[in-house]
Amino acid sequence: MKRSRSITPVLDTSALVPLGSPHKAKKLKLHASYVSDSPFPNFLHPTPSDAQHVHDLLARTHPTHNAVRKTPTATSNSAKTCGNVPNVVEALIGVILSQNTSGRNSASAKVSLDAKFGKNNFAAIAAAPRADVVDAIRQGGLANKKAATIQNILASIKEKHGDYSLQHLAETDEDKRLSDDAIMKELISYDGVGPKTASCVLLFCLGRDSFAVDTHVFRLSKVLGWVPEKADRVLTQAHLDLRIPGELKYGLHVLMMQHGRTCKGCKRSSSGDACVLKTYVKQRKVNASGPDASDALG
């Protein structure tokens, strides 16, 4: 099974911090701790079989939802498609704009940002008065924090690479192609970029096998018993990125997001509405010493 990278401090939105923050060292240290070892080494779920069963179950439950990896296109709205665009900096900005808001609001904020400064005119965004960037992305919520994060990241990229570009992360030449771990380290080194944001760029923009844990995936991982109850979102991503087979990461992430958004039965533990994942978990417990639960569920 392919081993991935991971990890950082708590929620991505709490990582919206000023340039020069001490969070950088903490993020990189935490990431290094779980590149090859889970934070829960004695917790053996999910197995590859578990991941496959849930993937197949959700694919049957949401048959019209396409969980096949899509090639990034320049015309996509990066804030609505989890960063599914070929430009790495645009993908990064898109994922930041999508934090803690709806797809509609984040997409609107990206359209407004492009209209104000020109599509991918990162120099103009970086040089603009903060208030102008805030005004352009106001529809997406948390505009003050997100504007500061975007401008600080652009300044850091320019300082490090001499240009507003991270296209070296998308290099496909085998002699120049960076490892997933190297890309993760680069991305989380920027203040305001946590493991979920970095993982989305890896998964959707760069076509790498990374397992991003957003609010929906985190909640459903608890429902499925894939992580201990004490696990936070960051440690959940560290654990699942190592446990889930690489070929399932894209589809499973997309399907879990779709299910989390649409299923009323798993949003609250006290909900009386039906949920195929809750049924799956109950059936597994009933058949713990019998036939495989996936067979019992059809």
What residues are annotated to the active site?
196
Which letter does DSSP use for residue 287 in this model?
T
Residue 76, C-beta contacts closer than 8 angstroms, at least 6 positions apart: 84, 85
Examine residue 46 and say whether the peptide bond preceding it is cis (omega within 30 degrees of 0).
yes
Cα separation, 100 vs 145, in Å, equals 12
> Mind spelling out the 3-state secondary structure of the chain?
CCCCCCCCCCCCHHHCCCCCCCHHHHHHHHHHHCCCCCCCCCCCCCCHHHHHHHHHHHHHHCCCCCCCCCCCCCCCCCCCCCCCCCCHHHHHHHHHHCCCCCHHHHHHHHHHHHHHHCCCCHHHHHHCCHHHHHHHCHHHCCHHHHHHHHHHHHHHHHHHHCCCCCHHHHCCCCCCCCCHHHHHHHHHCCCCCCHHHHHHHHHHHCCCCCCCCCHHHHHHHHHHCCCCCCCCHHHHHHHHHHHCCHHHHHHHHHHHHHHHHHCCCCCCCCCCCCCHHHHHHHHHHHCCCCCCHHHHCC
For residue 92, which amino acid is it?
L
Cα separation, 17 vs 257, in Å, equals 26
